[in-house]
Amino acid sequence: MVQLMNNKHQSDPQTCYVTITPVNDEPPVIITNQMLTIWEFSVTPITASHLRVADKDTPDRDLMFTLSNPSNGELYLRDEPKKKILHFTQQHINRGEVMFQHKGWYNRKEVAISNQYFCFIVSTGFTLKMS
pLDDT of residue 129: 41
pLDDT digits (tens, 9 = 90+) for 91-122: 999 999 999 998 876 555 444 455 666 788 88
Contact 52, 26 (CB under 8 A): no
Q: Are 76 and 101 in contact (CB under 8 A)?
A: yes
* Strands, E assignment, the chain: 29-33, 43-45, 51-54, 64-67, 73-77, 87-89, 98-102, 120-123
Phi and psi of 94, rounded to 5°? -60, -35
Which is more confidently placed, 46 or 108? Answer: 46
The pTM of the full predicted model, rounded to 2 decimals, is: 0.71
Q: Which residues have C-beta within 8 Å of that of residue 6, sequence separation ≥ 6? A: none
β partners of residue 11: none
**What per-residue confidence (pLDDT) applies to 123?**
87
pLDDT at position 17 over 50: yes
